[in-house]
Chains A and B, each alone.
Chain A
Amino acid sequence: MKTETPRQDPTDAPGAEFALRDSGPEELGRLNSRFGWSLDAHELKAVQDHFRSLRREPTRAEIESIAQTWSEHCKHKSFTSPICYQEGKTTRRIKNLLSETVMEATRKLKKPWCLSVFEDNAGVVAFDKKWALAYKVETHNHPCVLEPYGGAETGVGGVVRDVLGVGLGAKPVLNTDVFCFCPPDYAKPLPEGILHPRRTMTGVVAGVRDYGNRMGIPTAAGALWFDEAFRFNPLVFVGTVGLMPVSAVRKKVLPRDLIVAIGGRTGRDGIHGATFSSAAIDESSSIAAVQIGHAIQEKRVLDALLRSRDAGLFRAVTDCGAGGFSSAVGEMAERSGSKGGARVELDRALLKTTDLEPWEIWLSESQERMVLAVPPENLPALSVIMEREGVEFCVLGEFTDSGRLEVAIAGRPIVDLDLAFLHKGLPRRERRAVWNPPAPAKASARKTDRALHRSRCPEILHWILSHPNVCSREWIIRQYDHEVQAGTVIKPLQGLHHDGPGDACVMWPMAITGDPEYFRGFAVAHGLNPAFGKLDPYAMAMACVDEALGNLACVGADVTHAALLDNFCWGDPEDPAALGALVRAAQGCRDAALAFQAPFISGKDSFHNVFTDEKGKKTSIPGTLLISAIAPVPDIRQALTMDVKAPGNHIYLMGWTSDELGGSLYEAWSGQPAGNAPLVEPHSAREALWSLSAAAQKGLIATAHNLSEGGLAVAAAEMAIAGDISMHIDLDEVLRTKGVADPVTILFSESPSRFLLEIAPDKERAFLQAMKGVPLARIGATIANPVLRVTGLDGCPIIEESLHDLRHSWRETLPRLLDGVPCDDGRRS
């Protein structure tokens, strides 16, 4: 970002005006880059036209307010503007991509348990008759490039405030974290100013840890992905689930309600965070755009806010995130009366330093602040609670019904904007998007490769288990307090020695609902696979939804009531190929949501994850989609883990195995293109998934594990490692599509919608009854002997590896990469 600090400029003086009306396009562009507004030429023209019609010049505070409100962060303009989309030889126009894909699925599904979608700070679904769950996932990529620790901390702080600011406020009960990094052992040179991925990773993990732990919110679900393509632009997704009474889902603002800001004071930290997110990172990017977090301050705000909510002291709340007061007050003002409006006296704001310019106070993104709409008669009661909890507050002004956003300081107006223009004046510009499917790989070469690799299956298995995208995440998970609030009944690490990779976590909010005889809980899981996206973003989106929902089913959640969240992290929206990939991915989201009958309830996008080096060469991340899924667990006493439970049980594989090794770990191992990305057949997958979910809730399944990265071989190894009880599987029994006739494909294909299940013999009949019509094959049994045994199509053994060695391969990677020490097994064997 090219923000110089324009502190000495005469236009900084309060009330001073720009000569915007008479500027030519070039002069406008110069002002834009000089002040870091990140507006494009069309938007600048719209601002200019607006002030020409008003026959006056804007103040700095006004134009900054507009820039923040119209930023990518607040308006999602790349996702909602018209697109001319060309796929192969056909071209069509898309009016609003978001509304025609992700949101369309939600509209069509019309689920009555969706209480608030795409309108508030988080999506809200019903938990039961009395309680509702709010879930929001944010990205904080750009700040984490510059300052990993601070960026991650404020990312968590921000998403927690989103949940505190939904409806009348929800109590955060779970944090989630998903990261995409460059491998920490990256050894090639990096340009100046770009941190080494190892430092980025340790900083981000520490930031998420310190903020989440101090707030007392368990961080218990997540995912991790490594690819060198993330070396300049790591991705940091942070999410929060909150629990709130159903009566607190709706907010309203009435004219004459007081605008009350609570929490932290306002300083110069984090100026221009929102507009910063609309810009690409380069060497001049300013660290002043990253805010500073203070978890305990936010904990105080949380305590005070929820106590005030329960006392019914305010009518609406929202968080001060990107854009600071300007966004928070601007958003709430829209809800006030019929026309909306707010009048603010900025001199009342509590400040960290006295030398702030008025526009800086208005725009600052200082952390830990919330804005409330308080009926005047409730102010004394509110102040009692704030005082006891040690939270500062100030009355900034009041909401009106004038249709205007009016801000003054020392009696002098600095903002007087028409709300309609501010929120609806953003000009929409059509962008071009192109999608050309890549040519498929040659089949004949693949066959000979796999025949050669047949004898190397054990080696491939060890390699994949120790791959950073598959290996144990224990190094990270143990640093998070994942059991605070005493509700994590299915933990992220599972099994006999608490080291197996769980498909999802299950939370039982008993400490909050207060009834130990009430066993309803909820589960959260993720799906992410940028490797599929490089081949086909549509297939990636389908696979991500399939994986996230499959993970939920594996812990006993009710997937017929699952809700989804999308997070798109993309490159430059002006690049037609990147935008074409986005269109494909969004269509995949829609089709998957409709087929699985799982609505999207919230989402977020982050563009411009592009790095420009000194020669002007651009490096973009691969388009990355994170799907987060949440579903109720009707009875947590029937929840499942993924560790093998006992010897002598049957092992079933559910689903068809096809030759789908494109984007797989096997492909990464062989270094040769291995074909197409797996494609979900969503309708049959949905039927099978619902049957599985129902059987799990009936207690017919001892263990379930979703097949994802690494395929069947890895899933079997993980289950055996976690249970310290092994299994024998026969590849000849596996259901496979035509043409699949070699063990390498069966073991390492990443075909979607497949599950490895352990069934106790006495439950087998009922299980098969419940799973009628589902593709299912008994492929083996659990064994006491601690050796993973796999026999091939000809009955000869292919893999015979001791659990001890497999566990070592799986556990040693992150400690070696991050601490530089071999892993301590944690046990003396």
Chain B
Amino acid sequence: MKVPKVLILRTAGTNCDVETATAFKLAGGDPVLVHVRELIGGKVRLFDYAVIAIPGGFSYGDDISAGRVLANELRGHVRDLRSFVRSGRPVIGICNGFQVLVKAGLLPQTPSGEQTASLTVNDSNRFESRWVRLRINLQSQSLFTRDLPEMIELPVAHGEGKFVVKSPKVLETLKKTRAILMQYVNEEGKFSSYPHNPNGSLFNIAAITNPEGNCLGIMPHPERYLTRYHHPNWTRQTFCKEGIGLEIFRNAVRFVKD
């Protein structure tokens, strides 16, 4: 069977591109690192790829606000991205990539394409790097979380990850369309405050999807949990989990292959 081509979009300040590419490679894809200039210059066409990933980092240093500059570049130059999402192919934005998807108006998905949410400065007012527990919404249509357990662990590392919305209606729509994919919880699977919710996100939101389930924006880093050795507790005698982050990439590749 053909190996699906995965476009890993990078720009100045992208710094999780290599491990995201590794993740797709281990998942059975064929990742290609593409600089946003090649896309804007027309050298690369989005529709030549089966999957698009926007990895984490500090695109352009996040000097204005996280992901803003790259989002504007994409919005202005790459209208194709919206039709790519509409075509049903998988798109994943991780950390800074999630911020880009939100600021480009792709997530939460609206008919007009306007930006209705934002990821803003953490409540703790500083960068936070820690492992968190997440509860997956099993009712969601997301292709990325198929066959995943309800509770997983992943690391977060960000200074601007607090999910906020423009109006209460946006949250209502997210709930109604089952677009809230992952929420921060404590060991017991219940909602809890800092540090379980590392940034103070509204409704403990860690990841959202479009209602169709092919476009994922996720604050934690699945590409940093590809093997058991990435988990902080793997040296403990009773530890028996495998790299759950890899499953998210496998799901994307599997979906395209089917």
Q: Which residues of A are interface residues toward B (Cβ below 8 A)?
A: 209, 213-216, 294-296, 299-300, 303, 388-390, 477-486, 489-491, 493-496, 498, 508, 510-512, 514, 516, 636-637, 639-641, 643, 645-646, 702, 760, 824, 826, 828
Smallest beta-carbon distance B216→chain A, Å: 19
CB <8 Å contact, A479 and B61: no
Closest to A491 in B: B232
* Chain B proximity of A498: nearest CB distance (Å): 5
Most A CB within 10 A of own CB, among B57, B126, B235? B235
Which of B13-21, B168-176, B206-214 forms part of the interface with chain A? Answer: B13-21
Report the bound CA distance from A691 to B227 in whole Å. Answer: 30
Contact A214 B224 (CB under 8 A): no
Tell me whether B60 and A486 are in contact (CB under 8 A).
no
- Contact across chains for B236 and A388 when beta carbons are under 8 A apart: no
Contact A214 B127 (CB under 8 A): no
Bits for B7-48, please: 1 = Cβ < 8 Å to A, else 0: 000001111101100100110000000010110000000000
Q: Which of B74-82, B101-109, B128-136 interfaces with chain A?
A: B128-136
Q: How distant is the Cα of A479 from the Cα of B126 in the complex, in angstroms?
A: 7
A213 touching B58, Cβ below 8 Å: yes
- Besides A214-B15, A646-B238, 5 more A-B contacts (Cβ < 8 Å) are A296-B13, A484-B224, A486-B221, A489-B229, A514-B22
Docked pose: A495 CA to B233 CA in angstroms: 6
For residue B226, which residues in chain A have a CB less than 8 angstroms away from its CB?
Answer: 486, 516
Are the CB atoms of B129 and A511 closer together than 8 Å?
no
Contacts of B237 in A (CB 8 A): 645-646, 702, 760
27 contacts between A and B (CB under 8 A): A213-B157, A215-B15, A216-B14, A303-B12, A388-B35, A389-B12, A389-B35, A477-B129, A478-B129, A479-B126, A479-B127, A481-B129, A484-B16, A484-B19, A484-B157, A485-B15, A485-B19, A486-B230, A489-B229, A495-B233, A496-B236, A498-B233, A510-B22, A511-B19, A512-B18, A639-B235, A646-B237
Nearest CB in chain A to that of B233: its residue? A496
With A213-B58, A214-B58, A296-B13 in contact, is A483–B22 under 8 Å at CB? no
CB neighbours of B4 from chain A (8 A): none
Q: Is the CB of A478 within 8 A of B130?
A: yes
Measured between beta carbons, the chain A residues less than 8 angstroms from B61 are: 214, 294-296
| Chain A residues closer than 8 Å to B238, beta-carbon distance | 646
What's the Cα separation between A646 and B236 when bound, in Å? 8
Closest to B37 in A: A388
Q: Which residues of B contact A641 (CB under 8 A)?
A: 235
A-contact 0/1 string along B123-162, CB 8 Å cutoff: 0001111110000000000000000000000010101000
Q: Which residues of B contact A294 (CB under 8 A)?
A: 61
B223 in the interface, Cβ–Cβ < 8 Å? yes
Residues of B within 8 A of A483 (CB): 129, 155, 157, 221, 224, 230
Give chain B nearest CB distance to A744 CB in angstroms. Answer: 33
Chain B positions within 8 Å of A486 at CB level: 16, 19, 22, 221, 223-224, 226, 230
Taking the complex as formed, is B203 at the interface, i.e. its CB lies under 8 A from any CB of chain A?
no
Q: Are B195 and A824 in contact (CB under 8 A)?
A: yes
Known: A484-B16, A826-B195. A498 touches B131 (CB 8 A): yes
Interchain CB contact under 8 A, B232 and A516: no
Complex Cα gap A824–B224 (Å): 26
- Cβ-defined contact, A388 with B60, below 8 A: no
CB distance from B66 to the nearest CB of A (A): 12
Collect the chain B residues with CB atoms within 8 Å of residue A646's CB: 237-238
Interface residues of B (CB under 8 A from A): 12-16, 18-19, 22, 25-26, 35, 37-38, 56-58, 60-61, 126-131, 155, 157, 159, 186, 192, 194-195, 221, 223-224, 226-227, 229-230, 232-238
Q: Which of A213, A294, A511, A828 has the most CB of B within 10 A?
A: A511
User: Distance (Å) between the CB of A2 and the closest chain B CB?
Assistant: 36
Report the nearest B residue to A640, measured CB to CB. Answer: B235
Tell me the complex Cα distance, A826–B18, Å.
32
A216 touches B129 (CB 8 A): no
Cα distance A498–B153 in the bound complex, in angstroms: 13
B220 CB, min distance to chain A CBs, angstroms:
11
Min C-beta distance of B189 to chain A, whole Å: 14
Contact with A489, one of B13, B25, B230 (Cβ below 8 angstroms): B230
Q: How close is A624's CB to chain B, nearest CB, in angstroms? A: 28
For residue B60, which residues in chain A have a CB less than 8 angstroms away from its CB? 296
**Which residue, A294, A477, A510, A512, has most C-beta atoms of chain B within 10 A?**
A510
Q: How far is the CB of B140 from chain A (nearest CB, A)?
A: 26
Which residues on B sit within 8 Å (CB–CB) of A637?
Answer: 229
Bound Cα distance from A491 to B12, whole angstroms: 27
Q: What residues of chain B lie closer than 8 Å to A760, measured between beta carbons? A: 237
Instruction: Provide the bound-state CA to CA distance between A510 and B127, in Å.
Output: 26
Task: Tell me which residues across on chain A come within 8 A of B236, comparing CB atoms.
Answer: 496, 643, 645
Please give, as numbers and ranges, the residues of chain A lying within 8 Å of B232 by CB-CB distance. 491, 493-494, 498
B residues less than 8 Å from A643 (CB atoms): 235-236
B121 vs chain A, min Cβ distance (A):
14
A479 touches B235 (CB 8 A): no
B-chain residues with CB within 8 Å of residue A702 when the two chains form the complex: 237
Task: Decide if A296 touches B19 in the complex (CB within 8 Å).
Answer: no
A483 to B225: give the CA distance in the assembly, Å. Answer: 10
Which residues of A sit under 8 angstroms from B19, Cβ to Cβ? 484-486, 511
Complexed CA–CA distance, A636 and B192 (Å): 34
Q: How far is the CA of A480 from the CA of B58 in the complex (A)?
A: 14
Question: Which residues on the A side are within 8 Å of B159 (C-beta)?
Answer: 213
Interface contact B129-A479, CB-CB below 8 Å:
yes
Once A214-B58, A511-B22, A639-B235 are accepted as A-B contacts, the answer to whether A482 and B229 lie under 8 Å apart by CB is no
Which of B157, B232, B234 has the largest number of chain A CB atoms within 10 A? B232
Rounded to whole angstroms, the CA-CA distance of A480 and B127 in the bound complex is: 7
Q: Identify the closest chain B residue to A510 (Cβ).
A: B22
Q: How far apart are the CA atoms of A436 and B155 in the complex, in Å? A: 53
B127 CB contact (under 8 Å) in A209, A389, A493, A824 = A209
Report chain B residues within 8 Å CB of A639: 235
Give the CA-CA distance A13 to B238 in the complex, in Å.
Answer: 74
In the A-B complex, list the 10 residue pairs whose CB atoms are closest, starting with the nearest: A216-B15, A296-B61, A486-B19, A511-B19, A481-B157, A641-B235, A486-B224, A296-B13, A511-B22, A489-B229
A828 smallest CB distance to B (angstroms): 8
Report the bound CA distance from A478 to B233 in whole Å: 17
Complex Cα–Cα for A388 and B221 (A):
27
Q: Whose C-beta in chain B lies nearest to the C-beta of A513?
A: B22
Q: What's the Cα separation between A496 and B233 when bound, in Å? A: 6
Q: How far is the CA of A480 from the CA of B130 in the complex (A)?
A: 10
Q: Given contacts A510-B22, A824-B195, is CB(A216)–CB(B130) below 8 Å? A: no
- What is the minimal beta-carbon distance from B239 to any residue of chain A, in angstroms? 10
**Across the interface, which residues of A come within 8 angstroms of B224, CB to CB?**
483-484, 486
Select A516's contact among B18, B130, B227, beta carbons within 8 Å: B227
Could you say which of A213, A477, A479, A486 has the most chain B C-beta atoms within 10 Å of its C-beta? A486
Chain B positions within 8 Å of A496 at CB level: 233, 236
Q: Which B residues are in CB contact (< 8 Å) with A295?
A: 58, 61
Distance in angstroms between the alpha carbons of A512 and B22 in the assembled complex: 9
CB distance A299 to B37 under 8 Å? no
Residues of B near A215 (CB, < 8 A) are: 15
Which chain B residues border A640 with CB–CB below 8 Å? 235
Complex-state Cα separation, A211 to B221, whole angstroms: 20
Q: Which of B38, B127, B186, B195 is within 8 Å of A481, CB to CB?
A: B127
Cα–Cα, bound, A294→B13 (Å): 11
Contacts of A824 in B (CB 8 A): 194-195
Distance of A490 Cα from B61 Cα, bound (Å): 28
Tell whether, in the assembled complex, residue B18 and residue A213 are in contact, meaning their CB atoms are under 8 Å apart: no
Query: What chain A residues lie within 8 Å of B229 (beta carbons)?
Result: 489, 508, 636-637
| Smallest Cβ-Cβ distance to B10: which chain A residue | A303
A214 touches B18 (CB 8 A): no
Q: Report the Cα distance A496→B35, complex, angstroms.
A: 40
Chain A positions within 8 Å of B131 at CB level? 498
* B233 shortest CB reach to chain A, Å: 7
A602 CB to nearest chain B CB (Å): 26
Q: Which residues of B contact A216 (CB under 8 A)?
A: 14-16, 57-58
A484 and B131 CA atoms in complex are apart in Å by 13
